[in-house]
Structure 1
């Protein structure tokens, strides 16, 4: 009977280690459309794909115009956009209210998954 204790302890330790690594996992940005640093024709929507399902009520994004052709001192300006989930629970969709003018843009995102720890980041792209 005592010979099984080390085996049981090992199995318990492995189970706890696996459970803690899953519990502390954070969502990571896997891809975006447009891609980070891409030069594109004005997109109708921006899609962010994450490694985990998002809690949409706690996740979000801001679309910011960071530069405009011919205006060297263009201050960052928030752009009106709707942020929503999609049929894919790992995706976030940012839909500008109006067509994006030529210039440079940044999407500042906040992603929260089941571990409830917010992770932030950004992508940038240029509209031709």
Structure 2
């Protein structure tokens, strides 16, 4: 029985480590994506001031940033689903009494963020296309 308990403990530990790594990745993608927003605003400012800013337009930069943000939210959604499954597993295998409601709420909120960011990406692409047509 001890071997089984040790195996389960190691299994759960590995899940936690893997999820933490993916959570870092999701947060990094979000951070990097939002840095693109800052860069886009800077390029936009330079354009307003009539200063040459290179080849990329603010719209192109923000679309690229939004893609990274979307990937970040998708990653965090996957992590939240896996964390929920981990807690459900603990409840069933160890007969724990973990309240999974907050884990469900986190998962649902990330899913909503994924859909919201899909809409935002589509809108930014439309804006980029409209700007390209005007030029």
The alignment's TM-score, normalised by the length of structure 1, stands at 0.32
Higher helix fraction (1 or 2): 2
Higher strand fraction (1 or 2): 1
The alignment's TM-score, normalised by the length of structure 2, stands at 0.30
